[in-house]
Amino acid sequence: MEFFLSTYSPYLLIIALFSGFVKGVSGFAMPLIMFSGFLLFLPQETAIALIILPSLVSNLFQIYGLNIVEIRRFFFDYLVLILSCFAMVFITSQFFLNFSKNFIQGALCIMIFWFLYNQMLSVRFSFKRDNKLAQVIFGLLSGVFGGISGQWGPPSIIFFLSQNLSPRNIIAYQGILYSLASTGLLFGHLNSGILTGAFLFVSCPFIFLCLAGQYFGLLLRKTKGADFFNKFIYLLLFLLGLFFGYGVLFNSVLI
């Protein structure tokens, strides 16, 4: 009973709702926000277990609107990216408890600010769709972070932004990739023993909160243009980078 009360605390419910809203606007960062926020109140293995099912369902919701032809086209163009990400998510999830929170946050912080620094210098990544090496690299990066933290957003958004896609396709393509990655994370942590039937049941209410937030975020995104979409992504990445950097410094001081 005490576990249920602590799990459904107002703080966690607000975090879930807000993370869904951000995902509705940007198409990513829900696991980033949920996992990082949950870590403030829950053990590392509990935090990752509770975000898996909400992430999977919200990613499936994100695909809504794509037709079969567009989905087939995505698989045809980005099959190497998909396979690399899925495989690495499953593999690295088996070593989840071997990675400290400091390591995860530090690596994400460095990656985010490296990307934003290049944006400030007007460095624009541009990879052709048939660039298999780029797909492997970004797929592996997304999979590594996804497997150890459920946070595959930054590498994949960097890759999709390099493709000069429309905001609609960026959102939808992320939904497909993240749905498959979430499936890999689900099976990976079922195999590792971290995810149990009890955690799946307890995480169900968070699904509805995330979807509600995602819906309102989607409404906001539809009223704004591509310029707002890009600025929102860059601002969000900057704030997340600050959050992770602060977390590393704070934990280091405590140690």
Write out the residue range of the structural domain in which residue 26 sits.
2-254
Q: Is 76 exposed, middle or buried (0-12, 13-18, 19+ CB in 10 A)?
A: exposed
State residue 39's pLDDT score: 80
Note whether 43 and 37 are within 8 A (CB). no
Domain count of the fold of the chain = 1
This prediction has a pTM of: 0.82
**In this structure, what are the phi and psi dihedrals at residue 160, rounded to the nearest 5 degrees?**
-70, -35
Q: What is the mean pLDDT for each group of 10 consecutive residues in the chain (255 residues)?
A: 59 91 82 82 86 91 81 91 93 84 76 72 71 91 84 80 81 88 91 88 91 89 73 78 74 52
State residue 104's pLDDT score: 74
State residue 1's pLDDT score: 40
**In this structure, what are the phi and psi dihedrals at residue 150, rounded to the nearest 5 degrees?**
70, 15
Distance, in Å, from the CA atom of 234 to the CA atom of 105, rounded to the nearest integer, reads 18
State residue 2's pLDDT score: 45
Distance, in Å, from the CA atom of 57 to the CA atom of 7, rounded to the nearest integer, reads 19
The string of pLDDT tens digits covering residues 52-83 is 999 999 988 888 777 888 889 899 999 999 99
**Cα 94 → chain centroid:** 18
Note whether 59 and 179 are within 8 A (CB). yes
In this structure, which amino acid lies at residue 225?
G
